Structure 1
Amino acid sequence: MKNLLVFLVVAVVGAACFDLFDTENLIKSEGYHTETHYVTTSDGYVLQVNRIPYRRHERSSHKHNRPVVFLMHGLLAASNSYVLLGHENSLAFNLADAGFDVWMGNARGNRNSRAHVSLNPDHARQKFDFFDFSWEEIGMIDVPEMIDYALKHTGREKLHYIGHSQGGTAFLVMSSMRPEYNEKLESVHLLAGVGYMKHFPNSQMSGLAALSNVIYNFALTIGMVELFPPSSDSRSVGRSADSCTGNLGYNYMCDLTGVDQIVRGSGDSEGMFGNYEPAGAAIKQIAHYGQNIKDKTFRRWNFGLLKNLRKYGSSSPPKYNLGLITADVTMHYTVSDTLLDPRDVLAMAADMPNCKVRKVAREDFQHEDFIAAKDSKELVNEYVIEQINAVSGFGR
């Protein structure tokens, strides 16, 4: 993967002043004009949003009413995951070269959005409040507020949403719990969007998930609230594997997320980040997935019996009601995904009133391949662009 290898060499020898998480300069290095925006959420998190408004080597566009496309990354990832394959194959660059106005979000707590108006994520006490969130808050607060920002900035009423993995989870949360946002989405493409867990395919992770609450509570007692915090050396290499050893809590969370597969890659992919560390996440995000894997369901955070009664008015957390999702959704899936079973994809699609499914035409296509495989342009990106053009009437 030529462009990824170039980034690796540049970072290691120190020939550039940016690292792999500096999405703005990664975009510029590929010849695109870019903007970096910051959205302060209603609960004080400062989120970085990256924009590619024009085609490569362009600084303006004569076309009006260009489709606005918002991309949301997966667990332990950041906006850079949509540009790491270089200008020829990366989804964000392919969308920009198709003439679209491309926006990429960063979830709270990752390397690009690790800031708050009053809480310090590195403070011994404040970090507990800063990282007290799961992907529900990302779906309920971060994504809708970034969408509103992009719509206001562009003067548009609707946009197209693309979410990979947890980016799909965030959409399912947002559109079921804040269904008014369905009206702001012209079309939705979920790339291995994780939701239902009835047939979760990884038996090792399923066994570990049974210990989710025990390990999460243990992690809190030893002050562990974040997985893969930034290293002191932004150009460090190979930390992803090292960070998953030597500590029971870290070891468990890495196993539960399948981080070695996602980061290192398998099959035809070279992983999201090659030898680089992931972008980080709150331990609670991972524990929430663990709860749902254990219970074979897709529902809100389980506080325990008494607090559930106070919080939800029931002994068990409510399930997310996908029947409230009315947006035009396409769920892309693969039969070799070790984090999402095709039967759960089909079940989610059946529960959404306006959803279709699409199987990727390579049998060994993996969960991470949607953003990391060399042939993702041919197998995924070109179809997404074609469908956005068809829905929006753009490019005719």
Structure 2
Amino acid sequence: MEARVLVVVLAAVLSVSAQNDVGESRNNRLIERIKSQGYPAELHQVTTKDGYVLSLHRIPHGRDGSPGPRPVVFVMHGLMSASSHFLHLGPEYAIAYNLADAGYDVWMGNQRGNRYSREHVSLNPNDAKEKLEFFDYSWEDVGTIDLPAMIDYALAFTGQEKLHYIGHSQGGTVFLVLASMDPEYSNKKIASAHLMAGVGYMENFPFAPLRKLSDYGSILYALGTRMGIVEISFDALRRSESQTVEQDGLVDYCAGDEEYKAFCEMIGVPYLMADRLILPAIPEMGGSSLKQIAHFAQNIKDGSFRRWDYGPLTNLRVYRSLTPPSFDLSKVTVDVTMHYSLSDIVLHEIDVLAMAAAMPNTKARKIEKDTFRHEDYIFSKD
């Protein structure tokens, strides 16, 4: 009996260790990639109050810069994305490199559960039971827990009092969550915020296929969790970390196995991935929880920007209201610029202007190129 227990414990330890090794190798490869392109690079990790181990990738200065204090800018990725996307276009065009060369100390965050932050102090995301708890988070948790943990770390490490924030898509969403729920913190720590297609209000959500799918978001989320599908990831398609991902069939593996191809299609992953599939290779898709997508679906369906909807009875217990409360953007008093474009399939100009009007110190900036898309902030050379 003791031998059997020892074997089980040893297997569990080896499993967690193996996963940690995978995460460590991914992070180290990204750091080496930055260095190979002529920039200094550092890996930092911070543990959240609920046990997630988050990785931050830092470029302290540009190729021609020298060590020393400089303004800190924190860059946050979108849904199913990662810090590496801010490096994808290389030294000439990628925003992280451009910022470093412009004189900033660049910190790139990674939300809980993505490919660079897929660790926890006690939960194994690969365990059939523990993954249900590990991936039980939405973008609200990223905004209220992950962001302040990473921001506090970056400021403490650099000795700065404030930083500048840049968020793309969901990276803007989580800023709006944090700044509306804890405006005192945001005003104290964030000097300015630039939201590139920052998703918030969804009353005029423009993309009809996803709007139609959102009607079934809660049902699909319940179905997915019942099937044990709680993570949206693309790593299962790769035979090895060094291989280029083949585009055909990428979304078929979003739930870890082609067996669940139909479910990937039902939750709209082909639509969400459409722009990214034109890339020659996608070696670092970040991944997300199914609950993140379901939370967006709830907001699209209701034309709102509000907290997770548990259902009337649980809402009453959690929020003291039958419906989840909306995020009050009038409390966001940070200096914010909302960058938007007319060809964005997930963010409508009317909603952007409404958000800008609701926030006291916010201005909206329309991209001059009318064909500029949601992903072009990250993946377009112009």
Q: TM tier, shorter chain?
A: 0.7 to 0.9
SS class of match (1:278): coil
Amino acid corresponding to residue 154 of structure 1 in structure 2:
T
| Deviation >6 Å, runs of 4+ | 18-21
SS class of match (1:210): helix
Tell me the CA shift for residue 341 of structure 1: 0.5
On the 8 A contact 1:335/1:363 being kept in 2, the answer is yes
Q: 1:240 aligns with which of 241, 250, 253?
A: 250
Distance 2:137 2:27 in 1: 25
Look up the match of 1:249: 263
TM-score normalised by the chain length of structure 2 = 0.87
On the 8 A contact 1:200/1:339 being kept in 2, the answer is yes
Tell me the CA shift for residue 243 of structure 1: 1.9
Gap regions ≥5 residues in structure 2: 1-24
Amino acid corresponding to residue 276 of structure 2 in structure 1:
V
SS class of match (1:258): helix
Look up the match of 2:210: 205
Q: 2:139 aligns with which of 125, 135, 139?
A: 135
Q: 1:228 aligns with which of 224, 227, 233?
A: 233
Distance 1:22 1:127 in 2: 25
On the 8 A contact 1:240/1:263 being kept in 2, the answer is no
SS class of match (1:261): coil
Distance 2:371 2:58 in 1: 32
CA deviation profile, 1:208-232 (whole Å, cap 9, x unmatched): 0000010000001110000015336
On the 8 A contact 1:33/1:58 being kept in 2, the answer is no
Q: 2:113 aligns with which of 106, 109, 114?
A: 109
TM-score normalised by the chain length of structure 1 = 0.84
Look up the match of 1:81: 85
Tell me the CA shift for residue 264 of structure 1: 1.6
CA spacing shift, 1:133–1:19, aligned 2, 3 Å:
closer
1:179 aligns with 2:159: no
1:259 aligns with 2:269: no
Q: 2:298 aligns with which of 275, 291, 296?
A: 291
Distance 1:86 1:92 in 2: 9
Distance 1:327 1:158 in 2: 12
Tell me the CA shift for residue 178 of structure 1: 1.3
Amino acid corresponding to residue 215 of structure 2 in structure 1:
A
1:338 aligns with 2:338: no
Tell me the CA shift for residue 55 of structure 1: 1.1
SS class of match (1:190): strand
CA deviation profile, 1:153-202 (whole Å, cap 9, x unmatched): 11111000000000000000000111122221111000000000000000
- Shifted more, 246-255 versus 136-145: the winner is 246-255
Q: 2:335 aligns with which of 328, 333, 343?
A: 328
Distance 1:124 1:130 in 2: 10
Q: 1:215 aligns with which of 213, 220, 227?
A: 220
On the 8 A contact 2:155/2:163 being kept in 1, the answer is yes
- Shifted more, 48-57 versus 301-310: the winner is 48-57
Structure 1 vs Structure 2: percent identity of aligned residues?
Answer: 50
- Shifted more, 229-238 versus 302-311: the winner is 229-238
How many residues align structurally?
Answer: 349
- Shifted more, 326-335 versus 232-241: the winner is 232-241
Tell me the CA shift for residue 19 of structure 1: 6.6
Look up the match of 2:103: 99
Amino acid corresponding to residue 67 of structure 1 in structure 2:
P
Matched ranges for 1:1-396 at <5 A: 22-56=29-63, 58=65, 60-61=67-68, 64=69, 66-183=70-187, 184-228=189-233, 230-231=235-236, 233-236=240-243, 237-238=245-246, 240-243=250-253, 247=260, 248-255=262-269, 258-265=271-278, 270=279, 274-276=281-283, 278-375=285-382
Distance 1:20 1:152 in 2: 22
SS class of match (2:267): helix
CA spacing shift, 1:72–1:277, aligned 2, 3 Å:
closer
Distance 1:200 1:152 in 2: 39
Distance 1:119 1:261 in 2: 32
On the 8 A contact 2:99/2:106 being kept in 1, the answer is yes
Tell me the CA shift for residue 135 of structure 1: 0.2
Tell me the CA shift for residue 20 of structure 1: 9.8
On the 8 A contact 1:31/1:57 being kept in 2, the answer is no
CA spacing shift, 1:341–1:251, aligned 2, 3 Å:
same
Gap regions ≥5 residues in structure 1: 1-17, 376-396
On the 8 A contact 2:234/2:251 being kept in 1, the answer is no
- Shifted more, 41-50 versus 226-235: the winner is 226-235
Cα RMSD, aligned residues only = 1.9
SS class of match (1:108): coil
Amino acid corresponding to residue 295 of structure 1 in structure 2:
D
Amino acid corresponding to residue 115 of structure 2 in structure 1:
R
